[in-house]
Structure 1
Amino acid sequence: MGIRDQLGKDLDALDSEAGGLQTVSADVIDVTEDGRVNLRMMGADIYGVACTDAYRNRKAGDTVAVRRGAVPVVLWRLGEDPAQAEQNDVEAIAEQAARDVQVVRAATYGTGAPAGSGWQIPSAVYVRKVDGRMELYFQVADASDPSPGSPAVPSPKPATISPTASGTWRGGRPDEYASAPTQGDWTGRGNRRGAWFYGSAIQNACAGKTVTSMKVAFARKTGSGVNAKRPMHLYLHAHSSPPSGQLNLGSGPEDLLRLSVGATGTATLPTSWANALASGSAKGLAIYASGATDYMSVTGGRITVTFS
C-alpha cells in the first residue's frame, strides 16, 4: 500500500472515530532546547509539544496548526510563505563562505615559461594577511590589460565565546545545591544570583576590532519556578572566574529576555554593555531576582560578537 493510500485510510478512520482530524490553531510561546514548543491553545498554555518536520524555523510568535488529542502535535506554520526568508538566509551563508575562498582560477607550475599569451613576469610581489587570509599584489611592467578589482576588505568573522565556568551564589558564598545559574528564592532560604564567566576571552576576541553587536543565548531549565514566561534579570559583573565569596553585581538589571519552562532565547546586549565587555571593564553576565515570582534556573550563556 502506498503512503498516500495509507494516509487516506488514517484520515478516514480519524474522521469516523473522532469527528475529523480536529486541527486547531495555536500561538507559539517559546521554542525549547529539544525543538519542541510551548503553546497557547484555546486559552490554555501547553508545554513541550512535539512538531512535525514540516514546521521549520520555529520561533516564538508563530501561529501554527495543531492536531488535537491526548498527545497534541504541531503540524505546520500558518501564514506567509517563508521561501523569501530562507533564500535570504542561504544567500548570507553563501556570501560568508565565498569570503573564505581564494579567488585564483588556476595555480600550475613547470620547468619552462607558461604557454599562451598575456603572461607577465612581476618585478615585485607583495603579500599581506587580512582577516586571516592571504592577499597578493604583483607589480608588473605593463598594465594595459587592467587588473581585476580588489574586493573590499570584509568585516571580521563573528566570534562565538562560550563560558569557561558558571555558578550560583546565595548568602555571600557559592551555592553548591544549584546545578545551573539561578535567580530568585523558591524555598525561603534566601535570594540566589547566578553568573557566567569568560576569563579574558571576550576582550581578546574584540581586540583591535569594532563591535557591532553582542548576542547571548540562554535556555531555561525545567523544574525551576512556574511554567509561564518570566523575565531574566540580567546584570554585568567584573569577575573573570567564580569568586569564593560573594558574587558582586555590576550594571543592571536589564530584562532583555522572557522565557517559559524549557525555552531557549537570544538577547541582544545594550551597546554600553557590549563596549564594557569588549574593553574588559566588565567580564561576564549575571542574573538576580528577589522572591519566588521570577525564580528560574538558566543554562547557556554563549555570546556571539559581530564586527564591522
Structure 2
Amino acid sequence: MTSEAANALGEQLAIAKSGAAAGGTVSAQVVDVTDTGVNLDYRGALLLDVPCVDSYRNRQAGDWVALRPGAKPVVMWRLGQDPGEVDEETIKSLAKDVALDEQVLRAATWGTAAPSGTGWQTVQTLYLRKNSEGKVELYGQLASQSDTSPDTPPDRAPKPATISPTDYGTWRGGRPDDYASYPTQGDWTGRGNRRGAWFYGSAISDACAGKTVAKMTVRFTRRTGSGVNAKRPLHLYLHDHSSPPSGQLDLDDGPEELLSLSVGATGTATLPASWRSQLASGAAKGLAIYASGSRDYMSVQGGTITITFS
C-alpha cells in the first residue's frame, strides 16, 4: 500500500470513528468537482474523488454537503436553500432557447409600405423570408391600417461555439518532451521546468469572424498522479502557434492564475477580455501552462474553449 493510499484510508477510518452514528451523516465542504465525484475537505483532511448520489446535481466547489461516513464515504445531498429556487432561472432560460430553436415562424409584422430588407417573396400581399437562423419571417402589406404592428423581435445572439484542441503537448529544454503524455507545468524530478500547450489551428478566429465576443471560457481537468493532491494554480499563458512547434514553445501574455485545482478535479476558467480579443482576432492562437519548480507541478487535460457571443 502506498503512503498516499494509507493516508486516504486513515482519513476514511477517522471519519467512520468520529462521525455520526450508523446511518447518519456529517457535514463536509466540496473542494473541487471530479469526473466521477468530488474532492472534500472534512476537518482539514482532503478526501479524493468521493462518489455522490445521482440526485446531487450542479456540483460546485464550495458546496456544503451531507457525507455518509464509513470505509467508503458517499455524498448524500447538498446542504442549503431549495435547489428548485436556485435552478428556476436556469431552467427558464434553457426552455426559452429550446422554444426559439424549434419554432419555424420568427416574426409577423405588417404595414402599408413594402417591407424593407432583402429576401422577401410576395404571395399577393403577404411577404415571407428566411433569416440567417433558418426561421421564417412574415410581413403583411395592408391597404389600410387599423392597429399598430408589433415590434419585430430583436435578433438573437449567435449560438455559443465550442472549440476543442486539434493537438496538445509538453516542452522541456527547448524541445518537445516525449515523456509527458499531457500538457504539464513545473518540475517534479529536477530535470527542468516543463511547459504545456493546447493548439486550435485557426478554429477560434474562424468561429469569431464577423461576431462580437462576449465571453470565452476554458475547461481543464487536473490528472491524477501529478504533484501534490491539494489545490494548486494553473499558470496560464497565451501562445501564437497554430500547431506544435518542433523547437521551443514560445509564451506570450501571462501568467494568469485563473483556476486552481486539486488532483482529479475539473474546473472552468473565464479568460480576460484582452485575451479573448487576441484569440478572436487570430493574434493569439492557443493556451499554455508553465511553472517553475515542484510546488505547482501538475499534468492537465482538456482545453475545450466555449465562446459566447452578444
Query: Does TM-score exceed 0.5, indicating one fold?
Result: yes
Give 2:248's aligned amino acid.
Q
Deviation at 1:238, TM superposition (A): 0.2
Aligned to 2:164: 162
Retained in 2: the 8 A contact 1:121–1:140? no
Partner of 1:255, secondary structure, is coil
In structure 1, what is the Cα distance between the partners aligned to 2:238 and 2:308?
Answer: 19
Aligned to 2:201: 199
In structure 2, what is the Cα distance between the partners aligned to 1:143 and 1:202?
Answer: 50
Structure 1's 38 and 144: CA in aligned 2 closer, same or farther, altered over 3 A? same
Deviation at 1:285, TM superposition (A): 0.2
Retained in 2: the 8 A contact 1:100–1:133? no
Aligned to 1:26: 28
Deviation at 1:19, TM superposition (A): 4.2
Unpaired segments ≥5 residues, structure 2: 1-15, 107-121
Deviation at 1:135, TM superposition (A): 4.2
Aligned to 2:281: 279
Aligned to 1:61: 62
Retained in 1: the 8 A contact 2:105–2:137? no
Partner of 2:257, secondary structure, is strand
In structure 2, what is the Cα distance between the partners aligned to 1:48 and 1:136?
Answer: 51
Structure 1's 139 and 296: CA in aligned 2 closer, same or farther, altered over 3 A? same
Give 1:27's aligned amino acid.
Q
Deviation at 1:139, TM superposition (A): 5.1
Aligned to 1:88: 89
Deviation at 1:97, TM superposition (A): 1.5
In structure 1, what is the Cα distance between the partners aligned to 2:197 and 2:23?
Answer: 47
The yes-or-no answer on 1:306 pairing with 2:308 is yes
Deviation at 1:128, TM superposition (A): 5.1
Give 1:60's aligned amino acid.
A
Retained in 2: the 8 A contact 1:99–1:154? no
Deviation at 1:124, TM superposition (A): 7.0
Match of 2:292 among 258, 276, 290: 290
TM-score, with structure 2 as normaliser: 0.84
Deviation at 1:24, TM superposition (A): 0.8
In structure 2, what is the Cα distance between the partners aligned to 1:196 and 1:20?
Answer: 48
Retained in 1: the 8 A contact 2:104–2:136? no
The yes-or-no answer on 1:48 pairing with 2:49 is yes
RMSD of Structure 2 on Structure 1 (CA): 2.0
Deviation by residue 1:221-257 (Cα, 9 ceiling, x = unmatched)? 0000000000000000000111111100000000000
Structure 1's 170 and 124: CA in aligned 2 closer, same or farther, altered over 3 A? same
Deviation at 1:134, TM superposition (A): 3.7
Structure 1's 25 and 104: CA in aligned 2 closer, same or farther, altered over 3 A? same
Aligned to 1:183: 185
Deviation at 1:99, TM superposition (A): 2.2
Deviation at 1:151, TM superposition (A): 1.1
Per mean C-alpha deviation after superposition, the further-off stretch among 240-249 and 84-93 is: 84-93
Unpaired segments ≥5 residues, structure 1: 1-13, 106-119
Partner of 2:278, secondary structure, is helix
Deviation at 1:55, TM superposition (A): 1.5
Task: State how many pairs are aligned.
Answer: 276
Retained in 1: the 8 A contact 2:239–2:287? yes
Segments of 4+ moved more than 4 angstroms: 145-148
Deviation by residue 1:103-148 (Cα, 9 ceiling, x = unmatched)? 549xxxxxxxxxxxxxx95347463533x32443445243536555
In structure 2, what is the Cα distance between the partners aligned to 1:66 and 1:99?
Answer: 41
Partner of 2:28, secondary structure, is strand
In structure 1, what is the Cα distance between the partners aligned to 2:292 and 2:225?
Answer: 18
Give 1:182's aligned amino acid.
T
Give 2:81's aligned amino acid.
E
Q: Identity of counterpart residues, as a percentage?
A: 62
Deviation at 1:89, TM superposition (A): 1.4
Give 1:94's aligned amino acid.
A
In structure 1, what is the Cα distance between the partners aligned to 2:303 and 2:206?
Answer: 18
Give 2:87's aligned amino acid.
E
Larger radius of gyration: 1
Retained in 2: the 8 A contact 1:122–1:138? no
Give 1:286's aligned amino acid.
A
